Amino acid sequence: MSVLTELEMRALTTEDVKRTLIDGEGLVGKVRLPRNGLTVYFEYRYRGTGGLQRAIACGAWPKLSLKKIRLTRDDYRADVGRGNDPLEMKKAKELSVHADQAESVARDQARLDAVAADAKRMTVGDLFDRWEKAALKTRKDAGAEIRRMFEKDVLPELGMMAVEDVKRRHIAAMLDKVKERGVGRMVNLMLSQTRQMFRHAVSRDWIEADPTAALKKADFGGKEVERDRVLSEDEIKELVKKMPDAKFIPSTKAAIWIMLSTCCRVGEISQAKWSDLDLDGLRWRIPPDVAKNQREHVVALSDFALKQFEALKALQTSLTWILPNSASADRAADTDHIDEKSITKQVRDRQRTKPMKGRSKHSAVLILARGEWTPHDLRRTGATLMRSLGVDGDVIEQCLNHIEQNRMKRIYQRHEHEVEKAEAWRLLGERLDLLTRTDANKVVTITKGRKIKAA
């Protein structure tokens, strides 16, 4: 005879947590309070082999009704009545399912091994290796970033498939899986690179059609919006005040001000060498193998930028790298420069609402008045400040090491505007010196400046 009713169950409160409920005929419930609300976990208690007391779960109320829970209990009672142990029967069933799954995995692996062993059928993994040798090795990083991406997401999904068997649905499924991680820009980049790889196969007549041809970035990663974040002068003042709370190591702090005062990219300061820096001549050379456009760029250092590099010189722990990846007591024991993403990660960590495990605990301390910002925004901010100081747009473009898009102008206008660029960096440095002083609140925001034209 059952002793519990649905009405009694609905009357339970948090005061009943840990209480034991008896329903009769071996059915016993325990009141618990998990995250999803008050729950009663029921189990059927019985005598197993050798008269030992055993118990097997029957379900949880209110996810299951008392009626369904009792039906499960009745099935187990019937098993006991027939001389069977329901707990042992359940374990045997689970082992059988696992065995079937293992057999299925073995069959799938055997099929993939057979495909890979067929020398006449090129796999996607084979195609990637050939594409890497033919096209990726000529890239600035020799294809290292693309290989990392493919090894993480593409090759585990498609690598063992024959190239000719890959259909649009296979690539779409792969992209959807990556999209679930919330990395839209990464999905778009992955589609772009996968398309290049398959077009490489089409051009060599290894396959007849590109399976990515009908896939659009908008359907996966979404439309990419060009960033236009620029720190205002008030935000630069705010950044100065918040910087101490960020607890950056001194070299990171100096690197941030260098990016702002030279308009360099984060990768360029991350890979900077002492041999490219002339503190006496106030020059910093960014070599072609470091510059994004593979064109040498020379920055004329303002007094503000010079002060940051001198601060780094005082911290020097490497004979080669301005920002080494680890501090060494022996300056001759050079290792490598810091990871190109290191500064960006440090800045991002200090703008998270909650700190990530194993990363900086100083979260949210660098969020500025107009929201989050990235190190690359500093480059855009420096250029914008130059414009407000009256620097001509052509001069700013050269300070940014941008290549002239107009081919005729690029060919016939070889003048590099060295004097004008040095003046632009000087004006920017002087302005930043004012904005970063302790009495910067007295500095009036620029509304219009004199024009520094290109010669």
pLDDT of residue 379: 94
Q: Which residues have C-beta within 8 Å of that of residue 302, sequence separation ≥ 6? A: 261, 425, 426, 428, 429, 430
Q: Answer yes or no: is pLDDT of 265 > 60.
A: yes
Q: Answer yes or no: is pLDDT of 58 > 90.
A: yes
Q: How far apart are CA 303 and CA 430, in angstroms?
A: 8
Identify the helix (H) or strand (E) that includes residue 30: strand 27-32
When pLDDT is averaged across residues 144-151 and rounded to a whole number, the result is: 89
Tokens of 248: 């950056």
Residue whose entry in the numeric block shows the structure tokens 């004008």: 420
Q: Answer yes or no: is pLDDT of 226 > 60.
A: no
What pLDDT, in 10s, does the model give residues 371-426? 889 999 999 999 999 999 999 988 999 999 887 666 655 544 555 678 999 999 99
Q: How far apart are CA 189 and CA 146, in angstroms?
A: 9
Q: What are phi and psi of 53, to 5 degrees?
A: -75, 125
CB 31 within 8 A of CB 18: yes
CB 45 within 8 A of CB 28: yes
Q: Which range, of 70-74, 296-300, 439-443, averages the lowest pLDDT? A: 439-443
Cα-based distances in Å from 43 to 74, 203, 433: 12, 65, 73
Q: How far apart are CA 112 and CA 300, in angstroms?
A: 58
pLDDT of residue 450: 45
Residue whose entry in the numeric block shows the structure tokens 């505007």: 417
Q: Which residues have C-beta within 8 Å of that of residue 390, sequence separation ≥ 6? A: 427, 448, 449, 450, 451, 452
pLDDT of residue 193: 92
β-pair partners for 27: 24, 44
Please indicate whether residue 99 or residue 118 has the higher confidence score (pLDDT).
99
pLDDT of residue 222: 60
The verdict on whether omega for the bond into residue 62 sits within 30 degrees of 0, i.e. cis, is yes
Tokens of 182: 């919330």
Residue (of 320, 317, 311, 321) closest to 331 by Cα position: 317
Tokens of 328: 């060494």
Q: How far apart are CA 328 and CA 321, in angstroms?
A: 12
Q: How far apart are CA 237 and CA 427, in angstroms?
A: 17
Residue (of 196, 42, 219, 224) closest to 130 by Cα position: 196
When pLDDT is averaged across residues 185-203 and rounded to a whole number, the result is: 89
When pLDDT is averaged across residues 283-302 and rounded to a whole number, the result is: 91
405-414: list long-range contacts, CB under 8 Å, 24+ apart.
Answer: none
Structural domains of the chain in order of their starting residue, each with its CATH number:
6-84 (3.30.160.390), 124-219 (1.10.150.130), 233-442 (1.10.443.10)
Q: How far apart are CA 321 and CA 275, in angstroms?
A: 9
Q: How far apart are CA 125 and CA 226, in angstroms?
A: 33
Map residue 453 onto helix, strand or coil: coil
